[in-house]
Amino acid sequence: MEQFFDTILNAVDFIIIGIVLVSGFFQKMYLKGFYLSKDSSYDSALKTLVVSAVFSSIYILLIKNPENVTNWAKYFLSYVFATSLYELLINPFTNWIKKKTGQ
């Protein structure tokens, strides 16, 4: 079981995951007046994807190693994992905290 988690931890880039998660909070705070869709939940997800894609691309272009193709798979896996993590766990958790605290 330990080997399974080690494999997963070695297959993701935690900086990409951090960029995606921070992008979700960034778009909620600073892009409220900018709309990509009429549906608010879809709009939030779409803005998170766009902002995180821009910042992740900048990060990847600055540090990429073209000789190591496995980095591209690692970046892609990290991006997919983080966007799913944000939409499925982080966003509902922060909404629950806001309801409990009355904000």
Q: Which of 30, 8, 29 lies closest to 81 in space, CA to CA?
A: 8
pTM listed for this prediction: 0.73
Q: How far is CA 17 from CA 38, 40, 61, 83, in A?
A: 27, 23, 16, 8
Q: What is the mean pLDDT of the chain?
A: 81
Task: Look at the block and give the residue holding tokens 């190693």.
Answer: 65
At 63, list the tokens: 């540090």
How do residues 1-15 score in pLDDT, each as one tens digit?
677 777 777 778 888
Q: What is the pLDDT of residue 1?
A: 64
Is the pLDDT at 67 greater than 70? The verdict is no
∠ at Cα 82 (65, 27), nearest 5°? 105
35: phi then psi, degrees, rounded to nearest 5: -120, 135
Query: To the nearest whole percent, how much of the chain has pLDDT over 70?
Result: 90
Is the pLDDT at 66 greater than 70? The verdict is no
How much of the chain is helix, strand and coil, in % rounded to 5? 80, 0, 20
